[in-house]
Copies of this chain bind each other. A is one copy, B any other.
């Protein structure tokens, strides 16, 4: 069999308008997330979802991280079709209040978005309300107005800049792990404890409905950077230990190549290497990322 030419056109492979297929190998999902190491995506078709009839965002403050995360797990177990549920720790709230001119309690907090028909949103709000109250939620507010909801989500999306503003001059070192939901309370608590006992200021946020969370490690000098790198490795290993992954969203790049080896073991890495070499025999696609290939 002849090897592929240096340049292949893969855009066709990703131009899927149907909802399911079992035609051959799933090349779309192989290329998505491959960080340009297998080919270049030149065209993508997005599936759109309708804007829900009604939307409410709840803001719930909790006495502890555990009570916030346990509430999330219970909502999912109760089958509430939560549209978004975002966790922010006390430091993140402090940062958001200052940066985005809000005045929420500086406590572990959930932003919960509920969508659907007005009736269904009301029903979901009742169930969620009763779950968070049972878990000790101390303040429970909601926003229905589009402008006020946008302000809230903007504050959440400005988290990175709000965090940086906590320590002027510092840079952020991002972490990104994902664990089985059932392990999330334990892993998040252990992480917070380790961060608190370190000299590094580090707000935490999480897409907790997915078991995915991030911290930004604020570092001002080389010494702090090297501590931050070790903290990030510890976080990833803590995730791997409970059957999680070293990266939920950010990818491997150069920084997590060793962690990827720990996550997949030699066989998994060998499978990835073989795929890489079969599709990029000359090693020209984003070389040096994801897996080590001897050149």
Q: Is the CB of A18 within 8 A of B264?
A: no
Q: Is the CB of A252 within 8 A of B24?
A: yes
A25-B34, A256-B23 as given contacts; A18 in contact with B245, CB under 8 Å:
yes
Mark the stretch among A56-64, A94-102, A117-125 that contacts chain B. Answer: A117-125
In the complex, A103 has a CB within 8 A of chain B: no
Q: Is the CB of A267 within 8 A of B24?
A: no
In the complex, A189 has a CB within 8 A of chain B: no
A1-B277, A18-B211, A79-B52 as given contacts; A291 in contact with B181, CB under 8 Å:
no
Q: Per-residue CB proximity of A233-255 to B under 8 Å, as 1/0?
A: 00000000001111111111000
Which among B17, B30, B267 is the interface contact of A30 at CB below 8 angstroms?
A: B30
Mark the stretch among A5-13, A104-112, A158-166, A167-175 that contacts chain B. Answer: A5-13
Q: Is the CB of A23 within 8 A of B246?
A: yes
Q: Is the CB of A179 within 8 A of B18?
A: yes
A178-B19, A278-B274 as given contacts; A53 in contact with B25, CB under 8 Å:
no
